[in-house]
Amino acid sequence: MATTWLGPKDRTAALESMAHEELDVLVVGGGIVGAGIALDAVSRGLSTGLIEARDFASGTSSRSSKLIHGGLRYLEQFDFELVREALQERGLLLTTIAPHLVRPVPFLFPFQHHWERFYIGAGVTLYDILAQSSRNNRVLPAHRHLTRSGAMRVFPALKRNALAGAVQYWDCQVDDARYVTTVLRTAAGLGARIASRVQAVEFLREGEHVVGATAADLESGERIRVRARQVVNAAGVWTDDIQEMVGGRGQIHVSASKGVHLVVPRDRIQASSGMILQTEKSVLFVIPWGRHWIIGTTDTSWDLDKENPAASRADIDYVLDHINQVLRTPLSRDDVEGVYAGLRPLLSGESEETSKLSREHTVAHPVPGLVLIAGGKYTTYRVMAKDAVDAVAHGLGGAIPDSVTDKLPLVGADGYAALYNQRHRLAREVGLHVSRVSHLLRRFGSSVHDVLDLIREREDLGRPLTGADDYLRAEVVYAVEAEGARHLEDVLSRRTRISFETWDRGIAAAEETAELMAGLLGWSKEQVQREVEYYRKGIEAERAAQEQETDQAADAVQHGAPEIVPDVHIGAAKERS
């Protein structure tokens, strides 16, 4: 097995390999779907490469509601098969594939009228029945009905007149960006070549057949020609842009829906459960997240900057207005620690309302050698990946093994339960508080040994980061050495979630984090300051955008922030021979 690490040397080796060896499969896109495709393909014995133009999970896959769920609201749309499939995947992820990353969380579903108990109760009962069709879901408790007083004991922050009773049910949550990185590391361990900050700029053609892609290394300015028997476009909201590279709109059209989430301190809402509320457009979740709550989301169409969708004042007020309708002590903008906005890739339909566009996925083979996949939802990424690689197998011809990812634990899953039971011993051995070790185990699983080894080698790495006490300095080093982080934002926004979990959005931790990264990435003092300054300007632009009333105004402000690695001008790139 190859190394599961995605450090600087591993990236260089991956690019060298892709430049000189023809692959069976090249995946374009390093979000959850692309990561899943790379893992599915390489685990079937196909030589596989993956390139991502920015950081892994930097788009939709780090800005979701961070739920692994069946999608209770889809029952109302009679999309029973989508819900059943998602619940089956939820069970697999919770018990087999990633028990260290996916964990159960209860949700309260309040209602205002007594007759709603039967309607909501029937829906949640069906939800549980669909889940029970998979034995892997039976570890979650069944739903229960609560009186108004019972619901108030679970969620004391509610106004008493905001509900007549409630149903409590269970779903799961995950750190979405961390999950993507773990899938990619698992694929790398099986031999996949994986590199971020590498942009596909054109497809290689032999007649009408796509035979690979020209890719620009955005770090060096070099171009490489990556030859592959099949190319898979897993670019999410960028699907239409990639399709233009083969001439025209193509067979799939994707619309972007913006979802905005707020992060508030845990003490602002007194509750021992998450909550789901129906709104006029969609649903609103209140999700426990460590020492915080995540509240969201909005659901509005978006046709502006895809790389950094901006949250406006109107978005923030929308979420606050809806949650405050049921809270005894209202939240204000002063209670908001962090805000993040992401884009959902939805398959376009006849309706102009994004909340009614399809969350199902589709796979197309528009020209020989090219597979397109789009749509879907985070929870069903593995099914999407399987379907995409099945299409690849059809294009390759010959006998290709069936998918095995339903039985393949991710890096860190093996031995996790036993290690978690031994967390007190691990804490004593390394000299950390047991809560620190628990935190590390829930982020790295059995790979925690690698992180603890760093602390054993350098005692200073066992200290928390300045301004971000929940994270240890060792996690920054590990993010670079093992998880492919190449820039300051990668660490503060995705390998950790400091950018939305702290009041200053990571500014206080920025310089120390950059200095820890510098020695591993060969940065000069000037580069350290450049990284810090670019991060600071990005946060300033984000905050300024959130004061604007409209999407257009917010986008204009946030779009003005400089990128630490802008898209390369193709004509200026050097080609690697």
Please determine, for residue 571, whether its predicted confidence score (pLDDT) is greater than 70. no
Q: What is the pLDDT of residues 387-420, one digit of tens each?
A: 999 999 999 987 899 999 999 999 999 999 999 9
Q: Give percent of the chain with pLDDT exceeding 70.
A: 95
Exposed / middle / buried, residue 167 (Cβ in 10 Å: 0-12, 13-18, 19+): buried
Q: What is the CA radius of gyration of the chain?
A: 23
The H-assigned helical ranges of 422-483 are 423-430, 434-444, 448-457, 473-481
303 backbone dihedrals φ, ψ, rounded to 5°: -130, 25
Q: What is the pLDDT of residues 76-95, one digit of tens each?
A: 888 898 899 999 999 999 99
Q: What single string gives the DSSP state of each residue in 545-556?
A: HTT-SSHHHHHH
Answer left, alpha or beta for residue 248, where phi above 0 means left and psi between -120 and 50 means alpha: left
Say how far apart CA 4 and CA 10 lie, in whole Å: 9
* Contact of 257 with 65, CB cutoff 8 Å: no
pLDDT at 353: 42
- 39-48, 392-401, 430-439, 464-473: which has the minimum mean pLDDT? 392-401
Q: Write down the pTM of the prediction.
A: 0.95
Q: What is the mean pLDDT of residues 223-242?
A: 92
Helix (H, G, I), strand (E, B) or coil at 476: helix
Please determine, for residue 563, whether its predicted confidence score (pLDDT) is greater than 50. yes
Q: What is the mean pLDDT of residues 473-491?
A: 98
Please determine, for residue 375, whether its predicted confidence score (pLDDT) is greater than 50. yes
Please determine, for residue 251, whether its predicted confidence score (pLDDT) is greater than 80. no
pLDDT at 248: 55
pLDDT at 567: 59
Please determine, for residue 70, whether its predicted confidence score (pLDDT) is greater than 70. yes
pLDDT-based confidence at 566, cuts 50/70/90? low
Please determine, for residue 470, whether its predicted confidence score (pLDDT) is greater than 90. yes
Say how far apart CA 483 and CA 435 lie, in whole Å: 23
Please determine, for residue 351, whether its predicted confidence score (pLDDT) is greater than 60. no
E strand map for 440-564: 464-465, 468-472
Please determine, for residue 58, whether its predicted confidence score (pLDDT) is greater than 80. yes
Name 358's Cβ contacts closer than 8 Å, sequence gap at least 6.
346, 347, 349, 375
pLDDT-based confidence at 73, cuts 50/70/90? confident
* Contact of 259 with 296, CB cutoff 8 Å: yes
Type and span of the H or E element at 30: none
Which tokens go with 295? 């509240």
* Contact of 262 with 294, CB cutoff 8 Å: yes
Please determine, for residue 261, whether its predicted confidence score (pLDDT) is greater than 70. yes
pLDDT at 347: 82
Q: What is the mean pLDDT of residues 544-568?
A: 86
Smallest CA-to-CA distance from 19 within 46, 43, 42, 51 is with 51
Q: What is the pLDDT of residues 274-319, one digit of tens each?
A: 999 988 877 899 999 999 999 999 999 999 999 899 999 999 999 9
Which tokens go with 70? 């069946």
Top-confidence residue, 2 or 354: 2
Say how far apart CA 165 and CA 151 lie, in whole Å: 6
Q: What is the pLDDT of residues 117-174, one digit of tens each?
A: 999 999 999 999 999 877 676 789 999 999 999 999 999 999 999 999 999 999 999 9
pLDDT at 570: 38
Q: What's the mean pLDDT when you consider all of the chain?
A: 92
pLDDT at 1: 54
Q: What is the mean pLDDT of residues 422-440?
A: 97
